[in-house]
Amino acid sequence: IINTQYPLLTRVRELGLLEQTAELGLLSKLEKQGLTLQKAEELLPLLEDLGLLSLVANNQQLLINGLAPVAVEGAPLLLPLVAGALDIGPAAFYLGAAGAAGLDAYLFASGAEVPFIGLSAGAVLGLLLVPLSVVLAVVGGAIGNLKN
């Protein structure tokens, strides 16, 4: 899969992601939360200072073949959730972060195991739930700070 390129734009068109984004009003909801085009433009120098733009530029192929399929194929399910969370505001993202962290804590406390492998479910799902809770908390904090 690494030597062939994921058809990013083709899949976005096939899944109707742009139409779904417009129907859900995601851009207007982001503006309502304080993320305007001007504010996004102001963030670019900060991203460059942190080295994130050059990191993305240097790893384009890896991102297109590794991250893009997960993001694009999951987008039809995630876009309505994001739209609902943006309606509520930062609290929805904090609640999602707490829920993901709480689920991982519960899996550890209950001693649940992944069937057939016998590994701790808290450890295995923690590889997904812990980063997810961090991302949701950071997004909630960022949205909360946008209006300032």
98-138 confidence digits (pLDDT tens): 999 999 999 999 999 999 998 999 999 999 999 999 999 99
Q: Could you tell me which of 79, 90, 104 has the C-alpha nearest to residue 21?
A: 79
2 has a pLDDT exceeding 60: no
57-75 confidence digits (pLDDT tens): 999 988 889 899 999 999 9
12-67 confidence digits (pLDDT tens): 999 999 999 999 999 999 999 999 989 989 989 999 999 999 999 999 988 889 89
Please give the pLDDT value at position 148.
65
For the chain, give the DSSP string.
--SS---HHHHHHHHTHHHHHHHHTHHHHHHHTT--HHHHHHHHHHHHHTTHHHHHHHTHHHIIIIIHHHHHHHHHHHHHHHHHHHHH-HHHHHHHHHHHHHHHHHHHHHT-B-TTT--BHHHHHHHHHHHHHHHHHHHHHHHHHHT-
Please give the pLDDT value at position 147.
75
146 has a pLDDT exceeding 90: no
- Confirm if 52 and 43 have CB atoms less than 8 A apart: no
Please give the pLDDT value at position 124.
93
- Confirm if 121 and 107 have CB atoms less than 8 A apart: yes
Q: Is 60 exposed, middle or buried (0-12, 13-18, 19+ CB in 10 A)?
A: exposed
Q: What percent of the chain has pLDDT over 90?
A: 82
Amino acid at 39: K
Q: Could you tell me which of 95, 93, 94, 72 has the C-alpha nearest to residue 21?
A: 72
pTM of this prediction? 0.83
88-103 confidence digits (pLDDT tens): 999 999 999 999 999 9
pLDDT category at 3 given cuts 50, 70, 90 is low
